[in-house]
Amino acid sequence: MKKILVCGAFLFAASSMFASGETLYKSCSACHGVKAEKSALGASKIINAMGKDDIAKALQGYKTDTYGGTKKAIMKGQVAKLTSAQIDELAGYIATLK
* Residue 73 CB-density burial (10 A; 0-12 exposed, 13-18 middle, 19+ buried): exposed
Structural domain of residue 77, as residue ranges?
A: 20-96
4 falls within a domain: no
- Binning pLDDT at 50, 70 and 90, where does residue 29 land? very high
Q: What is the CATH number for 50?
A: 1.10.760.10
3 falls within a domain: no
Q: Domain tally for the chain?
A: 1
pLDDT beyond 50 at 10: no
Cα angle, residue 33 at apex, residues 12 and 98 outer, rounded to 5°: 100
Q: Which amino acid is at 76?
A: K
14 falls within a domain: no
Output the pLDDT for position 6.
43
- Binning pLDDT at 50, 70 and 90, where does residue 27 land? very high
Q: Which amino acid is at 44?
A: S
Mean pLDDT of the chain: 86
Contact between 38 and 46 under an 8 Å Cβ cutoff? The reply is yes
- Segment 70-94 shows an average pLDDT of 95
pLDDT beyond 50 at 11: no
Q: Name the strand (E) or helix (H) holding 76.
A: helix 72-79
Output the pLDDT for position 13.
43
48 falls within a domain: yes
